[in-house]
Amino acid sequence: MPQRTDLLSADHVTVAFGGRRALDDVSLSAAPGKVTGLIGPNGAGKSTLFDVVSGLRRPQTGRVTLDGHDITREGPARRARRGMSRTFQHLELFGRLTVRDNLLVAAELSPARRDAARLADQVLTRLGLTHLADAPADALPTGIARLVEVGRALVLGPRILLLDEPAAGQDPEETERFAALLRSLADDDGTAVLLVEHDMSLVMTVCDEVYVLDLGRVVACGPPQVVQRDETVLAAYLGES
Ligand code: ADP
Ligand code: MG
């Protein structure tokens, strides 16, 4: 059951493509100041769940609530105004714009848009990307491009941040810095972070709680050190790598 302290909750969500259930009665919640991990093999339904939570896909059954409001029928723009932002597994940057302009375009959409330039610069500093501000986005290595994608989500000042494989393509040093950023977003800003990620050491280091999806179902959920030892999880997922 969702706790009173949860910001976001998805309850009994089902999504079918044709006859096949990509999500089968999935429930999940995310709390402010916590990093919640969502892991599982390819095709488990992680990105589909993000689409349902962010308003890009209507579930056949179930509901999504934010701050106790039922937002199941609200579109992505409305959810964004409520403080939700996300990144995509497939990068959505403007390749011919600079890093800074990619953030500015997003910042213009923010409620604080009069300060768009300042917001963009603050986020660039926080991400350690100031030296790349004028680089065209399509010239960036994937690991850096993913950070810019995270920056685009951050300029909106989200209360809840959904990250779909943000560390893919990062080298170990970049991943370590990224882990510190995620903790800071949760600990210092009180953001509810929902993290889909394949890098197990990142997930196990940074998350307060982890959900494991397999074939559209939640097969385990709990603190990382508990989930890590769960037999079902080892069989479904961790045993693979
Ligand atoms: P994950 O992100 O965990 O790898 P996805 O959510 O992308 O998994 O996919 C879950 C399942 O749903 C997969 O079997 C995938 O092929 C299927 N799927 C995802 N999107 C669509 C779609 N638009 N149409 C049909 N099937 C889809
Ligand atoms: Mg995915």
Q: 67 and 22, same structural domain?
A: yes
CATH classification at residue 241: 3.40.50.300
Q: 103 and 131, same structural domain?
A: yes
3 state SS of 136 = strand
- Residue closest by Cα to atom 24 of ligand 1: 17
Distance 198 CA to ligand 2 centre (A): 10
C-alpha span between 182 and 186 (Å, rounded): 6
For 158-194, how does the pLDDT look when each residue is reduced to its tens digit (9 = 90+)?
999 999 999 998 999 999 999 999 999 999 999 999 9
**Please, what sign has the CA dihedral across residues 79, 221, 166, 51?**
negative
pLDDT for the residue numbered 67 = 94
What is the separation, in whole angstroms, between the first and last Cα of the chain?
31
pTM for the structure as a whole: 0.93
Q: 118 and 135, same structural domain?
A: yes
Locate 28 and state its tokens: 């999940």
Q: 170 and 78, same structural domain?
A: yes
* Domain limit, last residue, from 157, 190, 213: 157
For 205-233, how does the pLDDT look when each residue is reduced to its tens digit (9 = 90+)?
999 999 999 999 999 999 999 998 888 77
C-alpha span between 228 and 234 (Å, rounded): 7
pLDDT for the residue numbered 236 = 73
* Domain limit, last residue, from 100, 124, 157: 157
Residue type, 140: L
pLDDT for the residue numbered 238 = 54
Distance 62 CA to ligand 1 centre (A): 18
Q: 233 and 167, same structural domain?
A: yes
Distance 41 CA to ligand 1 centre (A): 11
pLDDT for the residue numbered 241 = 44
Distance 42 CA to ligand 2 centre (A): 7
Which of 21, 24, 48, 215 best tests ligand 1's pocket when mutated (most atoms within 8 Å of CB)? 48
- Residue closest by Cα to atom 12 of ligand 1: 22
Q: 181 and 150, same structural domain?
A: no
Non-local CB neighbours of 10 within 8 Å, separated by 6+ positions: 26, 27, 28, 29, 49, 52, 53, 62, 63, 64
Q: 153 and 195, same structural domain?
A: no
Place of tokens 């991400």: 127
* Domain limit, last residue, from 157, 190, 209: 157
Q: How many domains does the chain have?
A: 2
Distance 16 CA to ligand 1 centre (A): 10
Q: 175 and 114, same structural domain?
A: no
pLDDT for the residue numbered 137 = 95
Q: Report DSSP letters for 204-226, one per residue.
A: HHH-SEEEEEETTEEEEEE-HHH
Q: 169 and 72, same structural domain?
A: yes
Pocket of ligand 1 (CB under 6 A): 17, 22, 40, 42-48
Q: 209 and 99, same structural domain?
A: no
Give the range of the structural domain holding residue 113, as residue numbers without chain letter. Answer: 91-157
- Low-confidence stretches of the chain (pLDDT beneath 70): 1-4, 111-113, 237-241
C-alpha span between 229 and 241 (Å, rounded): 14
Determine the atom of ligand 1 nearest the C-alpha atom of 196: 2
Number of Cβ within 10 Å of residue 206's Cβ equals: 23
pLDDT for the residue numbered 220 = 94
